[in-house]
Structure formats: C-alpha cells, structure tokens
Amino acid sequence: MATTGFWPVKNHLREVLAYADNPEKTTGPNALEFDLLQTLHYAADKQKTDDCVYVTALNCPKQKAYESMMTTKRRYGKMGGNVAYHGFQSFREGEVTADQALAIGRETAKRMWGDKYEVLIAVHQNTDNLHCHFVINSVSFKTGEKFKNKIADHIRFREISDAVCQEYDKSVLKDAPFFGGEKGAYWLHKDGKLTRRDMVKADAQRALSVSVKYADFFMNLRRLGYEVDERRLSVRAPEWERNIRLSSVGITPEFIENEFHRHLSSMEWYAYYRVHFIPKPRTTPLEDILKDLEREIHYTKSGVGVLIGAAFLIIAMLLKAAAENAKNTPLSPTMRMEMQRVKDYLSDYHYLNDNRIQTTDELKSAISDTKDMIAVLEAERQGIRNRIRRATPEERLHLKENAKAVTAKITPLRTHLKRLQRIYDKSDYVYKMIETEQKLERRTARNRERSR
C-alpha cells in the first residue's frame, strides 16, 4: 500500500539530488562501514552494484545525474523557475524489501516520466517504512518542454503507483478519495493564506448563517460576488474558469437543511441576523481610489489598462481600505482572497518604482537586459573554470577566487530577475482583478439606481 506525492523544487538542483542520493539513507546498516564515496559512484552494471545500495536513474547515468540534468536545461535555455520535482512513494511497514521497493519505484517512474524526463530514484531505509524518492528534471530532454505540475498529474502518479503495486502483489488503498487539494494549497496554508475552496467555504458558511431558506442563501452568495448554479449547488467568481460545488467544501444539502431548521427554531438567531445580515453593497472603494489617483494613471497606447506600477498600487490601496473599514470590503471573492497580501503588493509597487519601471514593456525590457547580463557573467565564469583545469596549483587558487567574484555579481542579478519575473507573471492577474472589481461595483451601482 504505497502513498505518493511530489512537489516543485525552487532551490539548487544539486541539493535535492544530494538529499535523495544520501548514503546514510540509501544504504543498509551493513554497508555503512564501506567506502561511502565508492558506494555512491558504483556503476549501473549489475555485477558492479553493491547489493546494499539502492539508487538508480532513468535517462541519465545516476553518478552524473546533476551534470546530465543541467546539460538538458542549458540546451533548451531553461535555467529558471522550478529546477526539479521531488516525489516520494512510501510503503507500508514490512510489506516490501529494499529490492522490491527499488523495482516498484523504477517502474512507477518509468511509466510516469520515463519517456521525456531524467529521473533519479533512491530507496531510503532510515525509517520503519521503506520509501522511494524521485528527483525529476523539470525540463524534458526530449522536447525541452517544462513539466506542468497539474492536479491531473498527481492523480495519474497515484494511479500508476497503485497499478504497479498490484502487479507486485502489494496492497493498495481501494476507493480512497484522492485529495490533491488546490495547487499550492499546502504552501498557502503554511503561510496563513486562503485557497479558493477556503474562500468559498467561509463565504458559504457566512451566507448560510443568515439564511432560513434557499432563496435567502442564494441571494446572500450573490451579494458576496458569486455566480450561483442553484440546481447543482455550485458557485463561481466571475473570473474563475470552473464552478466549485458547495458539497466539496462540506456544505451539503443535508447540512443546509439542518441549518435552516435550526435557525427557524431559535429565537436567538433573529438577534444574530439583525447584526450580521449581508447588506446590498453600497460603497464603491475601487471607483473612489481610481478618482483619487486620476492624475497618476495613464493608459497604454493599446488601451489595455493602467500602468503596471499603478495597478499594484491600486490593489494595495483597495486592500488597505478594506482592512481599515469593513464597508469597503471588495465584492470579488478573488480580491477578498488577496486581503492578506497587502504588504506584498505595496512591496512590489515600491520595487517597480525604485527601478523606474512603469509599463509592461519596460518590465519586459528589464527582464531581458538582466538575463543578458547574467549570460555574459556566466560565460566569463565558465571561461575561468575551463582555465582552472589546465592551471598550476598556484594559478588555480587565484582563478578560483576570480570565479567566486563573478558568482558574487551573478547572485544579486538572479534575485533581481526572479523578482521582476514574478511581478510580470502576476501582472495579468492584477489587471483582471481590477477589471472584475470595477465591473461588479458598476453593476451594483446600476442596480441601486434602478431600485430607486
């Protein structure tokens, strides 16, 4: 019965490979007394393999996995972003031997990634239950395509693992519901932030807490900015691609009916309703901010939207207004999800301002220029490293210091590039949030005028 999972790695590739290929975890107790360095560099040939070491690889030599993966990245010019993916396959205690775990892990990796990606596979024996670690290059050696890391990939990984385990007569979790969560949910929760499902659940509970019938419940959800599918009991914010069923966040028809009944039979509920009912939105904080910043906003020649720095400032001001006054709460669920990130938006605005970047074109140009500077320095450093191979011991020491000096110049540039790229990647999302919130405010204003 194997459990599975994998996650992106954003730090150095060498570190995660070293963790997976750790001799203290991949070797049995009897093998640790041997030369560890020799053990790690054993040949893939079966006759040369120490039976107590459980490391193998797909599409690359295991003793040169790092070099092979980096060569693939350089070939396709994809050095940034997620450098790899780190997966695991953990077995029930006592159910598999290390040999079986390695065979199952290798076959699972082969079916999952073997046609396109380089993979290091290692069995760790340092816990009661044996488990495989997988380090997958984020760039395909075959096509240069980066691994997408979709929820469907996590489901497929578990399905493949279950199939392989059954072929080896090992148990699987039958009919167990897959919970991959929303992409990045673990890290959002770790930072105290909300996912879409978290937001839907909180809003649905709030709407239900002041309702005694479905008509009230649906009206309250719409006042919170959702489009409601009454028949399927699902909701969607205007900019979301898919609806989220309320039952998937615990708001089932039975739960809803029970809440209605409880409210109707409680005199205390009516007092609660008078204080906590959800009113029709009557304020337009975004429109007010746009008017206040009118002189600072300039539209692009194509008329697409405001300048990128101003866009981040607008979001920050709107979220700050909401934090200071509940009446200014954004209408869009997506915008309300961002209320915990007001400091991030202010920081991004100041970063753009400090670097004199105003438009999306200027941001793209800054990213391109930074990449060029890094490439020049990397070429200079590689030239120094090439000379080290043929240098005398005295010259080698001096050249190594020169290489370190070049690295010291590259490091801040990489940090700068990462920040600029993150802001650029988020810019479309920021524009769409502003556009959605503006539409909701204007629609609310029109409805208010009609009711008058």
Q: Give the pLDDT confidence of 360-393 residue by residue, as tens digits.
A: 888 999 999 999 999 999 999 999 999 988 888 8
Q: What is the pLDDT of residue 15?
A: 60
Q: Is 440 helix (H, G, I), strand (E, B) or coil?
A: helix
Q: Are residues 238 and 340 in the same domain?
A: no
Residue at a domain's end among 231, 260, 276: 276
Total domain count, the chain: 3
Q: Are residues 208 and 350 in the same domain?
A: no
Asked if the structure places residue 140 within a domain, the reply is: yes
Residue 57: exposure state from Cβ atoms within 10 A (0-12, 13-18, ≥19): buried
Mean pLDDT computed over 244-252: 91
Give the pLDDT confidence of 132-174 residue by residue, as tens digits.
989 899 999 999 999 988 878 888 898 899 999 999 988 776 6
The pLDDT of residue 306 is above 60? no
Asked if the structure places residue 374 within a domain, the reply is: yes
Asked if the structure places residue 114 within a domain, the reply is: yes
Q: Are residues 270 and 419 in the same domain?
A: no
Q: Are residues 87 and 233 in the same domain?
A: no
Q: Are residues 63 and 209 in the same domain?
A: no
Give the pLDDT confidence of 4-29 residue by residue, as tens digits.
777 787 655 666 666 566 655 555 43
Q: Are residues 61 and 161 in the same domain?
A: yes
Q: What is the pLDDT of residue 39?
A: 29
Q: Are residues 57 and 172 in the same domain?
A: yes
Structure token pair of residue 58: 């797909």
Mean pLDDT computed over 403-426: 93
Cβ partners under 8 Å of residue 9, min gap 6: 16, 82, 83, 84, 85, 86, 135, 138
Mean pLDDT computed over 203-224: 92
Residue at a domain's end among 149, 180, 211: 180
Mean pLDDT computed over 262-284: 84
Asked if the structure places residue 222 within a domain, the reply is: yes
Q: Are residues 380 and 246 in the same domain?
A: no
Residue at a domain's end among 129, 155, 180: 180
Mean pLDDT computed over 74-98: 86
The pLDDT of residue 227 is above 80? yes
Q: Are residues 138 and 224 in the same domain?
A: no
The answer to whether residues 171 and 100 touch, using CB atoms and an 8 Å cutoff, is: no
Residue 297: exposure state from Cβ atoms within 10 A (0-12, 13-18, ≥19): middle
Task: Please state the pTM of the whole predicted model.
Answer: 0.51
Asked if the structure places residue 152 within a domain, the reply is: yes
Q: Which CATH number is 37's domain given?
A: 3.30.930.30
Per-residue confidence at 107, pLDDT binned at 50, 70, 90? very high
Residue 250 CB: number of other CB atoms within 10 A?
11
User: How many Å apart are CA 126 and CA 379, to the nearest integer?
Assistant: 41
The pLDDT of residue 295 is above 60? no
The pLDDT of residue 280 is above 80? no
Q: Are residues 345 and 213 in the same domain?
A: no
Asked if the structure places residue 187 within a domain, the reply is: no
Our measurement of the distance from residue 185's CA atom to the centroid of its chain's CA atoms, rounded to an integer in Å, reads: 8
Q: Are residues 246 and 259 in the same domain?
A: yes
| Mean pLDDT of all residues belonging to the chain | 80
Mean pLDDT computed over 61-74: 89
Asked if the structure places residue 109 within a domain, the reply is: yes
Q: Are residues 8 and 153 in the same domain?
A: yes
Instruction: Residue 223: give the domain boundaries.
Output: 196-276
The answer to whether residues 135 and 86 touch, using CB atoms and an 8 Å cutoff, is: yes
User: How many Å apart are CA 339 and CA 320, to the nearest integer?
Assistant: 8
Count of residues in the chain: 452
Cβ partners under 8 Å of residue 449, min gap 6: none
User: How many Å apart are CA 203 and CA 316, to the nearest integer?
Assistant: 22
- How many CA atoms within 13 Å lie on the side-chain side of 87? 27
Asked if the structure places residue 186 within a domain, the reply is: no
